[in-house]
Every structure is written in structure tokens, then in C-alpha cells.
Amino acid sequence: MKISDELKGKEVIDAAGNKVGEISDVEWDPQTNMVESLIVTEGGASAKLGMGKKIEITYSEIKTIGEKVLLNSTSETETVEEPPSLEEIKRREEEI
């Protein structure tokens, strides 16, 4: 979707002015065709590679969207569980 492409890569800033991360994906409600939440990847270079920790920010937490996405607060956001990498699985197996 066009809006999804426009949002991806935008910086997300919390109410205290701290960079939360960059938008890596957008969750849509197909019935209403409206944005439900943003998936944000934390971290600098790792965010660009899609390797940082991912968090989900609900649409209600967004204050404004411009060149950057500003949030209403600095509240905790829900972590999106990512499957472990192949390297992580091998490391865990070696520990056992």
C-alpha cells in the first residue's frame, strides 16, 4: 500500500524527545482499511537491517505524523516476539 511505503523508515520520537526507532511495518485492519499499529525497529544501524528489537505502537499512541512520527507519551509499548535467528538457536544448543 502506498501509505505503508510512505511510513516505512520514518523515525519515531517519544514525548520526551527520545528516538524510539524506525517504522519497519504497518498493521492494517482490512475491514476498515485503517492503520491499527506501527511496527518499529529499535536501534540505529541494526534497525536499517531489520535486526533490532521490534515493538508495536498502537495508532492511539501517535500524536502526529510528519517528517517524523511523534508519540503522545513515553509509555512502554508491546514487544513483538521475533523467532530466534539460526545463530541464536545454535548457540542455545551448544549451551545445553
Q: Do the Cβ atoms of 56 and 32 come closer than 8 Å?
A: no
* C-alpha span between 15 and 6 (Å, rounded): 22
Query: How much is the pLDDT for 48?
Result: 52
Within 8 A by CB and 6+ apart from 76, the residues are none
Q: Do the Cβ atoms of 21 and 36 come closer than 8 Å?
A: no
Within 10 angstroms of residue 40's Cβ, the number of other Cβ atoms is 25
Q: Which CATH number fits domain 2-95: 2.30.30.240, 2.60.40.1120, 2.40.340.10, 3.40.50.300?
A: 2.30.30.240
The x, y and z cell numbers of residue 90, run together, are 545454535
Domain residue extents for the chain: 2-95
- pLDDT per residue as tens digits for the range 34-87: 889 999 998 755 445 556 788 999 989 999 999 999 999 765 544 545 566 677
